[in-house]
Amino acid sequence: MIGLNDESAATKPTRVRELARDIFAETGTLCDALKLEHRPEQEQMARGVAASLTDDVPLLFEAGTGVGKSLAYLIPGIIHAVDQGRQLIVSTHTISLQEQIEQKDLPICRRLFKSDPACAAYTEFRSTVLVGKSNYLCPTRLGHALADRTTLFADADYEELQRIAAWAETTKTGLRHEVKPPPRPEVWDAVNADSSSCSRKHCDCDKCHYQRARAKLRTSQVIIVNHALLFALIKTGGARAQGGGEATRGVLFPDDFLVLDEAHTVPEVATANFGLSLSSYGVDRALKYLFNPRSKRGLMKKHGGPAGQQLVIDALDASKQFFDFISTRLLDQRAIVRVRDTGVAEPMLDGPLGALDRLMAKLADKLPEGREHDELQEQKQRIKALQAGLTEWLTLGDKGHVYWAERSGRKQTIVTLRSAPIDVAPELRKHLFGCRTSVVCTSATLAMGGSIEPFAARIGADNAEAVAVKSPFDFEQHMLVFVASDVPLPTPKEAKLALDTLTDYIRFCTERVKGGSLVLFTSYTDMRAVAATMEPEWRKSGRPFLMQGADLSRTELAQQMRSLGNAVLFGTDSFWTGVDVPGAALSQVIITRLPFDPPTHPITEAKCEHIRDAGGNPFNDLTLPDALIKFRQGVGRLIRSKTDRGIVTVLDSRVLAKTYGREFLASLPATDYERMDLGNRERVFRPFP
């Protein structure tokens, strides 16, 4: 069990309300000792968080850019964690915010506690970043893999294994991202910690990277995690699976409490993680771990004999037939297709997987207790889970889920069977807000049309207190907004004209702004088409150009933009949120289209049907609110500090022509905007002097 609490923890007094008041006051420690500016909005948030922690109740808090929300929840959270012997879980959506919390905000908290004798007890708080097991190297498994190389690995794979072994001699963390180039997945599968072979029973805790990280986790007051891993762990049982059963208080670990930063992404991330995802690639990897017909290596070579190897070959053949059929039958015309009826394919994998499951049970029973027995049992469970997932998908087993198939991968050859809950609120109500512990959700954008209640209903936090405070930044003085009134909508008839006009406006606006420009798209196709025209021009002029989907991650692209100073960055989807480039390096945000989700995606389609069946209006209840939040996030990329200033340029005329456009304009932090068109833009459009 992971946790810091003891029997007396529940009776310990907490000073969190009193200290939050004293630290964040106008004459408090934060201003006095650290010389930080007093922000009334930050003080209000810190006191609200302290109350939520003390009473173990949920809180939804929208805090505009510049409020300083990280310190407003970290300082009360650390105080409460230390006082109560509990753990504070902080979950974020982006790596950049995780890094900010770990490298900047937690050191500020430590300095604060050191500066105030009343807070001396909190100075030595411990923190760690929670990373998924499969990201860690397990030296025990590596040793066994090297010993079993003739059974498990072909020559090429053994060379990769030796490369990993050489890296293992010097690594301090054992984390996969350190291996350059990245290790091949099929080899990493044999040596990572995501196995029963990596356990305190089999591993030396002083040498095993995961076991060492787990030991640190057990003694940490602050645990930083990302939303995707958070919900993946919740799906596998969370705190209840850690040893306390249904009565356990806590979300991930017994007696913890949780802060969800960037909480506007929670519905989307939770929806993705509470469903099914079963790919042709994943099935192939799982089966070839047992036996690879090409290399003649795998677990079944050692334990299964010719009969076991043939069962794997049969399953691989059935898998290829099954996924080829899905690809040809469903995905020949479109990359994503919803499945509404059972019987779209025969359960041709059910028999081979069932036979493998039964054989591995027999093989495990013949082995004495130990590592090899545990590994066979684990692989048996893996095969059984694949069989159950396929059965659920083919039978549309959960009536509350939407089911679909999709193609992905560079060559679009991977077929994935997917499902997701149509309404994620009941799941979140049970696994988050029904855990009898404090859950704080915060973001700069939770409100829809000025109200947080719709967001609360969407995540199952109906009874949570909801508070919104505005940004302390002076947007009226620091932000100019221009709206183009004559960019055609991309209808089939005017698609080329719309794209040509869009390209012309992007050229015009970026040429007139000396600093960097972030250009946000809603379509990869549009982004690539504009880039094909503009990149050669920028390259010729020496203007740095960056684009999502090349070799760099979002974090690396943001770093490049910060260092270059005048780059143009093209991004879609995930670039509307979480990109933080302060100063002149980001002087303009260009929004090419209003960010409405495509209505044809199975999740969106099913949600719209669900709303319509309940008597609601899908556009007003789902499409528009989601687009408003994403629009506010995109605009929020511009002003990241008190001294920042810049331009927001909207190239979608629907904000002027449609009734709902007023809601987008009203959501802008600056109240004034100027219209421009091809005829007057030379006169109207202007950068800051």
3-state SS, residue 487: coil
Tokens of 311: 């069962």
Over residues 232-241, the mean pLDDT reads 83
**Candidates 3.30.70, 1.10.10, 1.10.275, 1.20.1630; correct CATH number of 277-420?**
1.10.275
Stated length of the chain:
689
pLDDT of residue 9: 45
Q: What residue spans define the domains of the chain? A: 9-126+219-272+424-469, 133-211, 277-420, 475-684
- Phi first, then psi, for residue 438 (nearest 5°) are -70, 130
- Candidates 635, 634, 604; CA nearest to 622 is 604
Cα–Cα dist 80/300, whole Å: 52
pLDDT of residue 337: 96
pLDDT of residue 553: 84
pLDDT tens by residue, 173-204: 999 999 999 998 888 988 999 888 788 877 88
pLDDT tens by residue, 4-40: 544 444 446 789 999 999 999 999 999 988 888 999 9
Are 528 and 599 a contacting pair, CB within 8 Å? Answer: no
pLDDT of residue 311: 96
pLDDT tens by residue, 403-446: 999 999 878 899 999 999 999 999 999 999 999 999 999 999 99
Enter the DSSP assignment of 136: B
pLDDT tens by residue, 84-93: 999 999 999 9
Beta carbons within 8 Å of 315's beta carbon, 6+ residues apart: 287, 349, 352, 353, 355, 356
Q: What angle do CA 452, 571, 480 make, to 5 degrees?
A: 65
Percent of the chain clearing pLDDT 90 (strictly above): 76
Q: How does residue 3 score in pLDDT terms, banded at 50, 70 and 90?
A: very low
> Residue 1: pLDDT above 60?
no
> Residue 242: pLDDT above 80?
no
Rg, the chain, Cα only: 27
Q: Who wins on pLDDT, 112 or 94?
A: 112
Cα–Cα dist 228/130, whole Å: 12
Cα–Cα dist 166/189, whole Å: 17
pLDDT of residue 14: 80
Are 28 and 37 a contacting pair, CB within 8 Å? Answer: no
Same fold, 9-126+219-272+424-469 and 277-420: no
- Phi first, then psi, for residue 640 (nearest 5°) are -110, -5
Cα–Cα dist 216/203, whole Å: 16
Q: How does residue 685 score in pLDDT terms, banded at 50, 70 and 90?
A: very high
Q: How does residue 2 score in pLDDT terms, banded at 50, 70 and 90?
A: very low
Tokens of 476: 């009226």
pLDDT of residue 302: 83
Report the Cα 325 to chain-centroid distance in Å. 32
Q: How does residue 246 score in pLDDT terms, banded at 50, 70 and 90?
A: low
pLDDT of residue 245: 60
pLDDT of residue 244: 57
Which residues are paired to 405 by β-bridges? 337, 417
> Residue 689: pLDDT above 80?
no
> Residue 493: pLDDT above 90?
no
Q: How does residue 578 score in pLDDT terms, banded at 50, 70 and 90?
A: confident
> Residue 295: pLDDT above 90?
no
Report the Cα 186 to chain-centroid distance in Å. 24
Query: What is the Cβ-side half-sphere exposure of residue 165, based on CA atoms within 13 angstroms?
Result: 16
3-state SS, residue 132: coil
How far are the Cα atoms of 58, 368, 449, 661, 667 from residue 658, in angstroms, in the given order? 37, 72, 16, 5, 15
Cα–Cα dist 272/419, whole Å: 8
- Candidates 238, 196, 250; CA nearest to 439 is 250
**Candidates 2.30.40.10, 3.40.50.300, 3.20.20.330, 3.40.190.80; correct CATH number of 9-126+219-272+424-469?**
3.40.50.300
pLDDT tens by residue, 516-565: 999 999 999 999 999 999 999 999 999 999 999 877 888 889 999 999 99
pLDDT tens by residue, 356-415: 999 999 999 999 888 888 889 999 999 999 999 999 999 999 999 999 999 998 788 999
How far are the Cα atoms of 90, 255, 506, 629, 647 from residue 57, in angstroms, in the given order? 16, 13, 47, 25, 40
Beta carbons within 8 Å of 360's beta carbon, 6+ residues apart: 376, 377, 379, 380, 383
- What is the CATH architecture assignment of 475-684? 3-Layer(aba) Sandwich (3.40)
Q: How does residue 243 score in pLDDT terms, banded at 50, 70 and 90?
A: low
pLDDT tens by residue, 598-608: 888 999 999 99
- Candidates 296, 49, 324; CA nearest to 154 is 296
Q: How does residue 247 score in pLDDT terms, banded at 50, 70 and 90?
A: low
Over residues 471-500, the mean pLDDT reads 88
pLDDT of residue 145: 87
pLDDT tens by residue, 56-85: 999 999 999 999 999 999 999 999 999 999
- Candidates 134, 338, 337, 341; CA nearest to 228 is 134
Q: How does residue 154 score in pLDDT terms, banded at 50, 70 and 90?
A: confident
3-state SS, residue 119: helix
> Residue 256: pLDDT above 90?
yes
